[in-house]
Every structure is written in C-alpha cells, then in structure tokens.
C-alpha cells in the first residue's frame, strides 16, 4: 500500500502545541508536509497607498515563521516556505509530494475565507480535499449553547450564556515526532526587502520588545503570571498598570493557543480579567461568522456621510502622524508608529478621537491600524472599530471610555510606553 501524506497549511496557527491540524496529521498520515506561504496579497498597497502589512508586523511574522520552523525541526520535521499565491503553491506541492489531503484552520474574515476558497477550488481540480478545522477560538463552535445564527449580538448576553452553558475543551498534546517526506528544497524565508518593506527604525523611547514565535509567546505567558503573582505579594513589583498580558501579537498569529492561555490562567488561579478579554476575542470572531461583512458595514445614508469633515484627508494625515495638537492622542500615535503596539484604552481613545472629534471616516483609521498593529487580527480590529464608529447596533458600555472630550486628553509626555517584562529567549 502506498504511503499517506497530509499537507498541513499553516496560516495564523504558528505553533506546535495545542494544534489540532498538526497532531491529527501526525496521527493519520505516514508523512506530514508542513507548509507556510508568504502571500503577496498581504504585502501589496492598501487604498491609501500604504503597505497592507507594515514592517513591524512583517518582522514579527518572519520571526514567528522562523521559530515554527525551528520547533518543527526539533521534532524531526521541516517547514516548507514559499512566496506566492497559496492556491498555486499548495496545488504544486500537493502534486509534487503525492499529497492525499490538505489540512487548515478555518478563518472567519472575508479576505481570509476568500483565499481558502481559492485553495479549495484549486485542490479540487485534482480531487483533493481541503479539510477545515476549528482552532482559533477559546470555545469550540460545536460547544456553543446556540447555533451560529442565534448567537446573541450583545456581548453581555453572549458572555453570560457561554460561561453558564459551555466549557472550554482541554488542550491537545504536542507531537513528539513527525515524519516528513524527502524534501529537496524547503525554501528560505524572505527578507523584509523581498516583501517590499524597509527595515524598521528602532525608537530609543520604546522599552517594548516583541519578538515573534511560539517560544517567545510561552515565555511571555510565564512572565506574565510570574509578575502578576509577585505583584500580588509585593506591591513594589513593577507590572503592567492595567494587568494586561500583552499577548495579543502572539495570539493574533496563533503562536499561543487561546485554550493554552485559558488553562494556564486557571492553573495560576488568575481568572477574571484575562479570561474576559479572551471572550471578547471570541465574540468578535463569532460576530463575523454570524453576520459576515454586514457586521462592519459602513453606514452610508446621507446624514452619516454629510456628518464627515470636508477636509478628511488633511485631518487623517495629522492624526496618523501624531500631529493633531491634542497631546494624549499624539503621544498614543507616536507609540503606535514606533512600536506597533498600544494598549486597549489607548486604541479606544485614538479611534474615538478620529471618528467623533475629527469626523473622519472610521474605515481609514481601521486600515491604518491594520498596517501598523503587530497584533492585527481582522475580526478584532474591524469589529472594535465598528463598535467605536457605531456602525452596528451592538453597542457596549465598555466603549464609553473612549468618548472623553478632547480637553481631558492631556499628557505631559510626547510618547507613551507600557512596561513589558524583558523576554529571555534561549535559542
């Protein structure tokens, strides 16, 4: 009997722990072919003429893919890396390596699902199945107490029902060994220049250090609980002032699974705020699943459009350069531009200022965050912006925080930085 080969298509699940597509492939196949594609779609220009993926996020992605390759090699595997359209690349690799099936994790946002549909169509031409797995949410879709179409639009109701009637599944194991076919050319990772991007310039005011990859993600998680524990026993210990984990860049690329974060939080008896925030992430993803693009459909009735400023382009330029003249907003944007990261409250303030004070179309701001944020995640970014812009009816009280008058947005600093514990990564 001939060997069975399964191609594992990595996308936003760049880890070997709690990764169902990898473990399932290892169990079901004689040989596993792990693949990552740098898709030029994500590196083209957005409508404002800026890169869809900025250089800080691209660098974080490159580090994450390199770390995945290293972790796969540690268990006897390899990661094939290619630059190009996944539909063409996966088809070509499937033929070359006599692949029997292709596994991937299902996405929810429009662009991501379109890409998987193209892959599915391409593979189907050679009668190959693209098998979809659910792996990006804390709660498994099948375990929700309601079908997708009946998911409550209110976060408060969603939270109450999910917490009462559903459970988070345990994490699944990490494969100890992986068998791969004989690979001729695994491919090199591209450089930033090959992706059309410039090297980021370090900002001396920034103490934040985000390094991509599963290894760094797991270190960050450990450090977070360590610091939280010390902060509880020793009030002098430095910690993030808002007790946020700053895990989002790794979560966005799946370098750490939400379930792993959840079960670690439970085992450290660190419950409420972190788990609540993980639920926010699930909520936005499920809203996209339920409503599709309608969840972020811009209002385009006459009254809304005429409420926008006439000199939008000029105002948007001043906002994105941190030159609005409102100190806190400018400091927040300086931090975003220099580091690719700002905390949740500051995102709300910057977004609300653009939409409510400057009266600029929120879509411009969301696209700018897409370029700049190293934790960019379609459902979280566009969903949060849509809330602030009020383009859907699901308004939540937490968003009132953003609606401060500009006069209150004072700061003495021209740059804001939140403290991140130094990462010690063993190569």
Ligand X SMILES: Cc1cc2nc3c(=O)[nH]c(=O)nc-3n(C[C@H](O)[C@H](O)[C@H](O)COP(=O)(O)OP(=O)(O)OC[C@H]3O[C@@H](n4cnc5c(N)ncnc54)[C@H](O)[C@@H]3O)c2cc1C
Pick one of 245, 324, 337, 356: the residue that binds ligand X (CB under 6 A). Answer: 245
Per CB under 6 A, 87 contacts ligand X: no
Q: Point out which span in 1-9, 55-63, 164-172, 276-284 binds ligand X (CB under 6 A).
A: 276-284
Would you tell me how many other CB atoms lie within 10 Å of the CB of residue 425? 12
Per CB under 6 A, 138 contacts ligand X: no
Supply the minimum distance, in Å, between the C-beta of residue 270 and ligand X.
11
Per-residue CA distances from 98 to 21, 26, 29, 31, 83 (Å): 19, 16, 12, 10, 21
Pick one of 377, 389, 416, 420: the residue that binds ligand X (CB under 6 A). Answer: 377
> Based on CB atoms, which residue is closest to ligand X, 43 or 103?
43
Supply the minimum distance, in Å, between the C-beta of residue 302 and ligand X.
26
CB 8 within 8 A of CB 100: no
Length of the chain measured in residues? 427
> Based on CB atoms, which residue is closest to ligand X, 315 or 373?
373
Which phi and psi (to 5°) does residue 218 adopt? -70, -35
> Based on CB atoms, which residue is closest to ligand X, 319 or 385?
385
The residues in 385-414 that bind ligand X, with binding defined as CB under 6 A, are: 385, 388
CB 46 within 8 A of CB 371: yes
Strands (DSSP E) along 240-335, which ranges?
A: none
> Based on CB atoms, which residue is closest to ligand X, 88 or 163?
163
> Based on CB atoms, which residue is closest to ligand X, 197 or 336?
336
The residues in 329-368 that bind ligand X, with binding defined as CB under 6 A, are: 343-344, 347-348, 351
Supply the minimum distance, in Å, between the C-beta of residue 176 and ligand X.
28
| Cα–Cα dist 223/219, whole Å | 6
Give the three-state DSSP class for 83.
strand
Per CB under 6 A, 286 contacts ligand X: no
- Number of residues forming the site for ligand X (CB under 6 A): 28
| Cα–Cα dist 168/162, whole Å | 10
Q: What's the alpha-carbon Rg for the chain, to the nearest Å?
A: 22
Pick one of 14, 35, 80, 278: the residue that binds ligand X (CB under 6 A). Answer: 278
CB 103 within 8 A of CB 25: yes
> Based on CB atoms, which residue is closest to ligand X, 122 or 252?
252
Pick one of 115, 355, 373, 409: the residue that binds ligand X (CB under 6 A). Answer: 373
Per CB under 6 A, 288 contacts ligand X: no
> Based on CB atoms, which residue is closest to ligand X, 81 or 279?
279
Supply the minimum distance, in Å, between the C-beta of residue 384 and ligand X.
3
Per CB under 6 A, 244 contacts ligand X: yes
Pick one of 277, 359, 390, 395: the residue that binds ligand X (CB under 6 A). Answer: 277
Please tell me the number of Cα atoms within 13 Å of 362 on its side-chain side: 27
Give residue 84's region: left, alpha or beta (phi > 0; psi -120 to 50).
left
Strand order in the sheet with 101-105: 80-83, 31-38, 5-10, 101-105, 129-133
Per-residue CA distances from 194 to 157, 217, 425 (Å): 47, 26, 27
| Cα–Cα dist 108/110, whole Å | 7
Structural element, H or E, at residue 7: strand 5-10
Structure tokens at 398: 């937490």
Per CB under 6 A, 137 contacts ligand X: no
Supply the minimum distance, in Å, between the C-beta of residue 372 and ligand X.
10
Per CB under 6 A, 29 contacts ligand X: no
Q: Point out which span in 147-155, 245-253, 290-298, 315-323 binds ligand X (CB under 6 A).
A: 245-253
> Based on CB atoms, which residue is closest to ligand X, 137 or 384?
384
Per CB under 6 A, 18 contacts ligand X: no
Pick one of 281, 289, 320, 364: the residue that binds ligand X (CB under 6 A). Answer: 281
Supply the minimum distance, in Å, between the C-beta of residue 278 and ligand X.
5
Strands (DSSP E) along 26-134, which ranges?
A: 31-38, 80-83, 101-105, 129-133
Residues that bind ligand X in the complex, under the rule CB under 6 A: 244-248, 251-252, 274, 277-278, 280-281, 284, 343-344, 347-348, 351, 369, 373, 375-377, 380-381, 384-385, 388
């Amino acid at each position: 009997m001939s060997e069975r080969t399964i191609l594992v298509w990595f996308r936003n699940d760049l880890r070997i722990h709690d990764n169902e597509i990898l473990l399932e492939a290892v169990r079901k196949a004689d040989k596993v072919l792990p693949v990552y594609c740098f898709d030029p779609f994500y590196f083209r220009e957005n409508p404002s003429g800026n890169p869809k993926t900025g250089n800080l996020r691209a660098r974080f992605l490159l580090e994450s893919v390199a770390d995945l390759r290293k972790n796969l090699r540690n268990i006897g595997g390899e990661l094939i890396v290619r630059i190009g359209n996944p539909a063409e690349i996966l088809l070509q690799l499937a033929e070359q390596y006599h692949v029997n099936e292709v596994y991937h994790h299902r996405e929810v946002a429009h662009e991501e699902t379109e890409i998987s549909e193209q892959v599915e169509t391409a593979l189907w031409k050679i009668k190959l199945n693209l098998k979809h797995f659910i792996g990006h949410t804390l709660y498994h879709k099948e375990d929700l107490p309601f079908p997708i179409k009946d998911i409550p639009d209110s976060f408060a109701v969603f939270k109450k029902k999910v917490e009462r009637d559903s459970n988070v599944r345990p994490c699944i194991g990490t494969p100890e060994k992986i068998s791969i076919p004989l690979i001729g050319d695994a491919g090199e990772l591209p450089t930033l220049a090959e992706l059309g991007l410039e090297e980021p310039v370090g900002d001396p005011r920034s103490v934040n250090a985000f390094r991509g990859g599963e290894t760094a993600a797991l270190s960050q998680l450990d450090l977070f609980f360590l610091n939280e524990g010390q902060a509880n026993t020793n009030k002098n210990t430095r910690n993030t002032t808002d007790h946020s984990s700053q895990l989002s860049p790794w979560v966005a690329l799946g370098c750490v699974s939400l379930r792993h974060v959840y079960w670690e939080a439970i085992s450290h008896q660190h419950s409420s705020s972190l788990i609540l925030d993980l639920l926010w992430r699930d909520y936005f993803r499920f809203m996209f699943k339920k409503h599709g693009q309608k969840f972020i459909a811009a209002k385009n009735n006459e009254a809304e459009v005429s409420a926008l400023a006439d000199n939008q382009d000029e105002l948007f330029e001043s906002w994105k350069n941190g030159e609005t003249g409102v100190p806190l907003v400018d400091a927040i944007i300086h931090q975003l531009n220099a580091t690719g990261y700002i905390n949740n409250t500051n995102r709300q303030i910057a977004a609300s200022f653009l939409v409510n004070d400057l009266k600029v179309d929120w879509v411009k701001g969301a696209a700018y965050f897409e370029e700049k944020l190293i934790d960019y995640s379609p459902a979280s970014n566009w969903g949060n912006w849509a809330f602030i812009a009020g383009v859907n009816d699901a308004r939540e009280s937490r968003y009132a925080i953003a609606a401060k008058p500009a006069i209150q947005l004072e700061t003495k600093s021209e740059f804001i930085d939140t403290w991140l514990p130094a990462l010690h990564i063993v190569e």
